[in-house]
């Protein structure tokens, strides 16, 4: 039976993404040191590492499966640190990781930056978020102290795009 939410799901894309990137957390190294230390304090035991798929943007029950909107992250970062305590920072770090990944890809393959293609696709992000992600970053940046790690992440994405 098809539901109204099924139009947002793409099982094939998710399976391919897991196969390609499901071996490590994509945002752990992007977190500022203070956040990384907090994550480690939340970890039940040091060797615990479970990966999960995270939808960067979701509106109510609508989670859109698109290359720009999914990322693989550590379950402690995802649930305990992110959704439970720091949802704004989780979104910023997830977008930043996708943005960095695309920048490295463009540099590696000597490609021009295209804001409407690849893993940081503004059209896909806008559809998933239901708003302009760059405008959202601008608003959220102002909630952080100027020059802080979170402010800088927002600033880089806003200015570069």
Mean pLDDT, rounded, for 44-73: 91
Q: Is there a domain that residue 81 lies in? A: yes
Tally Cβ neighbours within 10 Å of residue 99.
20
Q: Is there a domain that residue 123 lies in? A: yes
Q: Is there a domain that residue 147 lies in? A: yes
pLDDT exceeding 90 applies to what percent of the chain?
Answer: 75
Q: Which two tokens stand for residue 24?
A: 């490590």
- pLDDT bin (cut points 50, 70, 90) of residue 115 is confident
**pLDDT tens profile 5-18:** 567 889 999 999 99
Q: What is the mean pLDDT of the chain?
A: 91
Q: Which two tokens stand for residue 125?
A: 């992000």
Q: Is there a domain that residue 89 lies in? A: yes
Q: Is there a domain that residue 1 lies in? A: no
Q: Give the separation between CA 57 and CA 68, rounded to whole angstroms.
A: 10
> Which residues have C-beta within 8 Å of that of residue 73, sequence separation ≥ 6?
25, 26, 27, 28, 51, 52, 54, 82, 94
Q: Is there a domain that residue 74 lies in? A: yes
Q: Is there a domain that residue 12 lies in? A: yes
Residue-range definition of the domain harbouring residue 109 = 6-160
Count of domains in the chain? Answer: 1
């Amino acid at each position: 039976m098809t539901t109204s939410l099924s139009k947002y799901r793409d099982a094939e894309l998710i399976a391919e993404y897991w196969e390609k990137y499901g071996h490590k957390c994509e945002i752990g190294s992007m977190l500022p040191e203070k956040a990384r230390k907090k994550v480690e304090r939340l970890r039940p035991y040091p060797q615990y590492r479970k990966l999960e798929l995270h939808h960067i943007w979701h509106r109510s029950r609508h989670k859109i499966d698109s290359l720009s909107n999914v990322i693989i992250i550590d379950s402690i970062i995802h649930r305990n640190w992110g959704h439970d305590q720091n949802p704004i920072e989780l979104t910023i770090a997830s977008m930043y990781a996708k943005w960095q990944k695309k920048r490295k890809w463009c540099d590696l393959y000597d490609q021009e930056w295209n804001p409407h293609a690849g893993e940081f696709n503004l059209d896909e992000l806008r559809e998933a978020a239901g708003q302009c992600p760059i405008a959202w970053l601008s608003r959220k940046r102002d909630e952080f102290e100027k020059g802080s790690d979170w402010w800088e992440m927002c600033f880089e994405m806003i200015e570069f795009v």
